[in-house]
Amino acid sequence: MPRPNSSASWCRRGRTALLSRDPYFEVVGDAADAGEALRRAQELQPDLILLDNHLPGVNGVDAIATLCEVAPQARILMLTVSEDEEDLAAALRAGAAGYLLKTIEGDALSAAIRRTIGGESVVAVEMTSKLVSAFRGAFNSTAAPAPDEAAASPAPNAGLLESLSPRERDILRGIARGASNKEIGRELGIAETTVKIHVQHVLRKLDVSSRVHAAVIATEAGLV
């Protein structure tokens, strides 16, 4: 265990206190390192595990597979300082249900946890463009079709965009770049509340529940 006055311990205690004040949650335990996390997860069988990627002696990403084995019903939500694209991609490939940054506000964290428990995949807005970049790299690494075949084949998911209005396509481009509602509104010269409404329409028309899924569809369809 770290010393009681260590920054890691204080951060963990502060987050525990914050979440404990929300009647929706019951914080059943915490852990200072990966080994303790595995033992406590197996013992407590939580619904959700908040996992840092920087743990003493091991990366949190490396512990995800084993955590999934010892607590198969738990959804794992990364909460970390790492904005590295490779860490994000590795966490999602390993089975994490989401990836958030520690700069997230308390209310937003609570909302993200609720969404994760409800089955959504939640990724920090700041990381959306990096997720799309990682996805694009994986997509482009597959064997490319012959030129005539590529010309004859429509872009994947292109049909999903047909229901979007020109304004909604502009909104979707902003989402795919990882821009926030405020940034999109500033770019398009419209109110942030108007952007929020457009985002809801875009998600509904694309039949997805998160901005991340919408960004992936935009990338596959060649919109960005």
Domains in the chain: boundaries: 7-123, 153-220
- Specify the pLDDT at position 209: 73
How big, in percent rounded to 5, are the helix, strand and coil portions of the chain? Answer: 60, 10, 35
- Where does 153-220 sit in CATH, by number? 1.10.10.10
Residue 60 has pLDDT above 50, yes or no: yes
- Superfamily (CATH H level) for 7-123: Response regulator (3.40.50.2300)
Own/partner pairs, 139-145, CB within 8 angstroms, 24+ separation: 139/219, 139/220
pTM above 0.85, yes or no: no
> Is the CB of residue 80 less than 8 Å from the CB of residue 101?
yes
Phi, psi of 90 (to 5 degrees): -65, -40
Residue 12 tokens read as 């963990």
Q: What is the pLDDT of residues 144-165, one digit of tens each?
A: 444 444 444 444 456 778 889 9
pLDDT-derived band at 78, boundaries 50, 70, 90: very high
pLDDT-derived band at 9, boundaries 50, 70, 90: low
